[in-house]
């Protein structure tokens, strides 16, 4: 896995982390939900899946979006805090936002390393040319399949030719970048693994490589009770996944999170965690020092797996005030990862902050709780 060279800003975050003092600088990465509307309704989505009972206010909530004015104000605040990466994502599809081009222009104005997570359905050649021109740092496609048949099972509202159309567009991006001798946008493919696609991991890697992706990410499934029967992995599935990933790990030429994803599978199968150790129930979490998530409604979270424990709302006060608030400082000091944290696979240790966290967790295995 690629290791990032720490910057002066990273060292400032590390100092705040190890000293348990007030942060010296803002988050390195901020994930911003800009829209709730989506037109694919992936079966494993905990917002739109047809397998889930919809929240009472679903119709109203699904039409929610962050205003361009609110977004501009947030970016100005993040720029002053020293944030480096801004990722457009959301409970919905970012390219459905009517002001998406204005938002890209704003991110370019403040010179953020911009990223976007998309299902890719609304991306065409004109949009891809725009993304190359503005030097978007990274385009991440939520795919979850390696063929048309699996794609339609997981994306029940997709058109019959959606997978092939997406493949054609990604190949165009690969060819266009080669012609212009451009590295940007870097392409990532992300696959949430469930019982519906768990035997396609090798094909997923081959697809990612064929369309010019630099990274493939395997993401653990967040199981709801209503989706458990259809989507959860069985013991034989996990055995097959581990075998395929061990093979891939030796052969793959892309940046990946295979090790972290496999670690997340291990406790489900045959490893009994010693609950007397801090590793099991008192693991230090580094995310509150380097990342933040902001919902379409302006709510601030440290992690998408945090639930609805909001730390503030940017519609009521600037993000900088929330980030440096007493409540956020207490949250950082007391935050501990659960025994099996899904975020461990999604946010692998790719920088100095994460490396220190990993060392702390390893040491804590041999230090019993007092």
DSSP string across 49-89: -TTSPPPTTHHHHTT-B--HHHHHHHHHHHHHHT--EEEEE
Say whether pLDDT at 51 is over 70. yes
CA distance 4 to 352: 7
Give the mean pLDDT of the chain.
83
CA distance 141 to 183: 17
Tell me the β-bridge partners of 115: 87, 138
Say whether pLDDT at 204 is over 90. yes
Please give the average per-residue pLDDT across 282-301, as a whole number: 83
Q: Which residue has better confidence, 43 or 188? A: 188
Structure confidence by residue, pLDDT tens digits, 2-43:
555 667 777 777 777 766 666 778 898 999 999 999 988 888
Contacts for 239-246: CB closer than 8 Å, 24+ residues apart: 239/269, 240/198, 240/199, 241/193, 241/198, 241/201, 241/265, 242/269, 244/199, 244/201, 244/202, 245/201, 245/218
pLDDT score, position 280: 39
The pLDDT-based confidence of 135 (bands split at 50, 70, 90) is very high
pLDDT score, position 345: 61
Structure confidence by residue, pLDDT tens digits, 214-264:
999 998 887 677 777 888 888 899 989 999 999 999 889 898 888 888 877
Task: Please state, as a whole number, how many other Cβ atoms lie within 10 Å of the Cβ of residue 44.
Answer: 23
Say whether pLDDT at 132 is over 50. yes
Structure confidence by residue, pLDDT tens digits, 61-79:
889 999 999 999 999 999 9
Please tell me the total number of residues recorded for the chain in this structure: 370
Please give the average per-residue pLDDT across 303-316, as a whole number: 82
DSSP string across 248-302: HHHH--SEE-HHHHHHHHHHHHT----TTBHHHH-EE--HHHHEEEE-TT-BEES
DSSP string across 334-356: H-EE-SS-THHHHS---SHHHHH
Contacts of 236 (CB under 8 A, 6+ apart): none
pLDDT score, position 339: 58
| 88-97, 197-206, 281-290, range with the lowest pLDDT | 281-290
CA distance 122 to 39: 10
């Amino acid at each position: 896995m690629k290791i990032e060279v720490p910057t002066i800003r990273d060292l400032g975050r590390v100092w705040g982390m190890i000293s348990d003092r007030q942060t010296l600088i803002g988050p390195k990465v901020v994930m911003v939900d800009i829209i709730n509307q989506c037109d694919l309704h992936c079966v494993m989505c905990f917002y739109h899946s047809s397998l889930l009972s919809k929240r009472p206010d679903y119709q109203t909530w699904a039409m929610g979006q962050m205003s361009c004015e609110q977004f501009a104000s947030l970016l100005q605040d993040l720029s002053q805090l020293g944030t480096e990466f801004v990722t457009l994502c959301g409970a919905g599809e970012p390219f459905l936002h009517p002001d998406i081009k204005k938002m890209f222009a704003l991110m370019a104005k403040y010179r953020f390393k911009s990223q976007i997570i998309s299902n890719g359905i609304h991306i065409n050649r004109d949009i891809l040319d725009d993304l190359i021109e503005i030097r978007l740092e990274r385009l991440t496609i939520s795919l979850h399949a390696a063929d048309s048949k699996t794609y339609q099972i997981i994306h029940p509202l997709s058109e019959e030719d959606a997978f092939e159309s997406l493949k054609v567009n990604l190949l165009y991006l690969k060819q266009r970048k080669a012609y212009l001798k451009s590295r940007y946008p870097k392409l990532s493919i992300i696959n949430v693994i469930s019982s519906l696609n768990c035997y396609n991991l090798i094909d997923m890697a081959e697809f990612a490589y064929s369309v010019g992706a630099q990274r493939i990410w395997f993401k653990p499934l967040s199981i709801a009770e209503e989706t458990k029967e259809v989507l959860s992995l069985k013991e034989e599935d996990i055995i097959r996944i581990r075998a395929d990933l061990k093979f891939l790990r030796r052969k793959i030429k892309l940046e990946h999170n295979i090790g972290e994803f496999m670690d997340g599978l291990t406790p489900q199968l045959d490893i009994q965690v010693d609950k007397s150790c801090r590793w099991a129930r008192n693991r230090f979490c580094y995310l509150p020092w380097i990342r933040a998530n902001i919902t379409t409604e302006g709510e601030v979270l440290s992690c998408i797996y945090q639930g609805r424990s909001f730390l503030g709302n940017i519609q009521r006060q600037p993000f900088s005030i929330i980030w440096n608030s007493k409540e956020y400082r207490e949250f950082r000091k007391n935050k501990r990862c659960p025994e099996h944290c899904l975020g461990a696979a999604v946010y692998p240790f790719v920088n100095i902050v994460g490396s220190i966290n990993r060392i702390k967790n390893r040491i804590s295995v041999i230090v019993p709780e007092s």
